[in-house]
């Protein structure tokens, strides 16, 4: 399912730093200096603050018949455009500040890659490993019901997606529950994204975030200005890659890097790690983990090593490599371990994996940090395509596919060509349309961020955030919304 591998790796050093929300505000304040006088202080304060947050206490009946009160949260950071957009996670440590921080990041992310959504995020504080399938379904339906009752869910209001420990099943339950409550909403399938294909999902959504990570890094390694700035040799062939996490994001990114000729030399997950300087067979590793549940017993070369949960398996991310992809949880790279990083480029596959203090330390080492709001935006870009598909009520490319085949065949015939394969003549599949559009949209954003970074002589993160702040602020001003949004925080006890 389209989720990020959850890692238990937030050390005491990270905990000693500001919490996730305050850290997000630190990054915002650093970037807003680059905006200058383009936006008023009041508009900047409006963009920084979270518009709406609701905290629910769900009285949930377990399979045993026992009642358990489970906290749940949904935050809508910005309504400069509608709907809001952002995932829903099942995690036993999720809280209000975390969803507010993630909702803010989503606002900046969508603005950075020119997706017309505001930012949202949600979470249910529960350990999904302790729930049966039927309990997960009841919990998701209850959360959907309560959000819908309060007008906080809908294709034109707020459109959730999968996140940590959620996937197509949870989105299917959410869509079904919403459509039962709103049977006359003809666009009801657009209430969430990341759904199964049969229920209005879109081809390419599963691979989107991981491929997006790859597309941006490949684009930058082909850019002479980027390579010169960070003293890198162009191209990805032979480059070494280490991935933190082995969930959906890391897996698809790893496959893409391998296909490009890079060497995936290290991978960690929540119960171990594997390292081999000669390169790992990504497909074999995937099959091994699916069968065994861990890296234990995976064959490596004499210089390789497999480490279990009783060892310091997270140390793999401190080994020398060209590219490090932290795709686990937030704040995994912090002030206490940043100086141990030996990567030349960090591509943030997860949301908020690098703390403000770590960013400063890594900047002094001239490490290129490609920020989350750019590089992991593949998921929300393709979610946008899925939402459009649901509003359009048709599969992308389906109407013109037959005509393309006929018109191309006639052109070939007119040119006197005879041996042209049907593969060349046919129209594009939905997946081909989605992935080509994704690459174009995310690399266009990457070009804009790099250009602004060079122009202002600032970090890639400051550049991406400054561009996002300007776009949100200018949208507010153009719509006459600057200074008009009420900030709302609701706490509700459900009985």
Q: Catalytic one among 121, 195, 255, 269?
A: 121
Whether 258 is catalytic is: no
Burial environment of residue 393 by CB neighbours within 10 A (0 to 12, 13 to 18, 19 or more): exposed
Beta bridge partners of 455: none
Contact 171, 205 (CB under 8 A): no
Q: How far apart are CA 179 and CA 173, in angstroms?
A: 10
What does DSSP assign to residue 361?
Answer: H
Q: How far apart are CA 3 and CA 247, in angstroms?
A: 6
Residues 6+ apart with CB under 8 A from 114: 441, 444, 445, 471
Exposure of 388 in the CB half-sphere (CA atoms within 13 A): 13
C-beta atoms surrounding 78 within 10 Å: 29
Q: How far apart are CA 274 and CA 255, in angstroms?
A: 16
What does DSSP assign to residue 189?
Answer: G
Sign of CA dihedral 159, 161, 163, 165: positive
Q: How far apart are CA 88 and CA 174, in angstroms?
A: 11
What does DSSP assign to residue 254?
Answer: H
Tokens of 374: 């750019």
Which of 268, 259, 262, 271 has the alpha carbon at shortest distance from 345? 262
b/e string for 460-491 if b means 16 or more Cβ within 10 A? bbbbbbbbbbbbbbbbbbeeeebeebeeeeee
Q: How far apart are CA 271 and CA 331, in angstroms?
A: 18
Q: What is the 3-state secondary structure (H, E, C) of 301-321?
A: CCCCEEEECCCCHHHHHHCCE
Residue 491, helix vs strand vs coil? strand
Peptide linkage before 83 cis (omega within 30 of 0): yes
Q: How far apart are CA 176 and CA 191, in angstroms?
A: 10
Q: How far apart are CA 390 and CA 179, in angstroms?
A: 13
**67-76 and 118-124 beta bridge pairing:** antiparallel
Contact 162, 194 (CB under 8 A): yes
Contact 7, 332 (CB under 8 A): yes
Q: How far apart are CA 340 and CA 319, in angstroms?
A: 8
Active site positions, annotated: 121
């Amino acid at each position: 399912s389209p989720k990020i591998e959850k890692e238990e790796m937030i050390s005491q050093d990270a905990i000693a730093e500001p919490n996730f929300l305050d850290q997000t505000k630190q990054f915002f304040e650093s970037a807003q200096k680059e905006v200058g006088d383009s936006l008023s202080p009041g508009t900047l304060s409006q963009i920084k603050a979270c518009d709406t947050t609701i905290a629910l206490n769900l009285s949930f009946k377990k399979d045993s018949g026992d009642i358990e009160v489970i906290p749940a949260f949904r935050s809508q950071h910005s309504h400069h455009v509608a709907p809001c957009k952002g995932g829903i996670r099942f995690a036993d440590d999720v809280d209000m500040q975390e969803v507010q921080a993630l909702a803010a990041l989503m606002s900046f992310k969508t603005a950075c890659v020119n997706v017309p959504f505001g930012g949202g995020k949600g979470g249910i504080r529960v350990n999904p490993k302790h729930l049966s399938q039927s309990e997960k379904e009841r919990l998701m339906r209850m959360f959907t019901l309560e959000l819908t009752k309060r007008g906080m869910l809908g294709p034109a209001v707020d459109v959730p997606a999968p996140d940590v420990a959620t996937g197509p099943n949870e989105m299917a339950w959410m869509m079904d529950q919403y459509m039962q409550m709103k049977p006359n909403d003809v666009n009801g399938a657009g209430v969430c994204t990341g759904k199964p294909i049969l229920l209005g999902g879109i081809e390419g959504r599963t691979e989107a975030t991981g491929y997006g990570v790859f597309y941006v890094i490949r684009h930058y390694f082909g850019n002479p200005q980027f390579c010169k700035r960070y003293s890198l040799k162009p191209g990805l062939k032979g480059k070494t890659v280490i991935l933190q996490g082995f969930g959906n994001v890391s897996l698809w990114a790893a496959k893409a890097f391998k296909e490009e000729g890079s060497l995936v030399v290290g991978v960690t997950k929540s119960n171990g790690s594997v390292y081999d300087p000669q390169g790992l067979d990504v497909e074999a590793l995937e099959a091994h983990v699916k069968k065994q549940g861990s890296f234990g017993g995976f064959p490596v070369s004499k210089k390789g090593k497999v480490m279990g949960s009783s060892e310091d398996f997270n140390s793999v991310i401190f080994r020398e490599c060209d590219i490090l992809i932290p795709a686990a949880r937030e704040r995994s790279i912090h002030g206490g371990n940043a100086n141990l990083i030996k990567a030349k480029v960090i591509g943030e596959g997860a949301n908020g994996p690098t703390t403000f203090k770590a960013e400063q330390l890594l900047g002094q080492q001239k490490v290129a940090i490609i920020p989350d709001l750019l590089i992991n935006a593949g998921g929300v870009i393709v979610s946008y395509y899925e939402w459009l598909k649901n509003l359009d009520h048709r599969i992308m490319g389906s109407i013109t596919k037959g005509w393309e085949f006929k018109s191309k065949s006639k052109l070939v015939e007119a040119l006197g060509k005879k041996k042209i394969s049907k593969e060349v003549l046919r129209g594009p599949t939905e997946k081909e349309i989605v992935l080509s559009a994704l690459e174009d949209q995310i690399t266009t954003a990457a070009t804009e961020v790099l250009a602004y970074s060079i122009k202002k002589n600032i970090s890639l993160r400051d550049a991406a955030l400054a561009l996002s702040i300007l776009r949100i602020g200018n949208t507010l001003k153009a719509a006459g919304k600057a200074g008009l949004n009420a900030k709302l925080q609701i706490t509700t006890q459900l009985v």
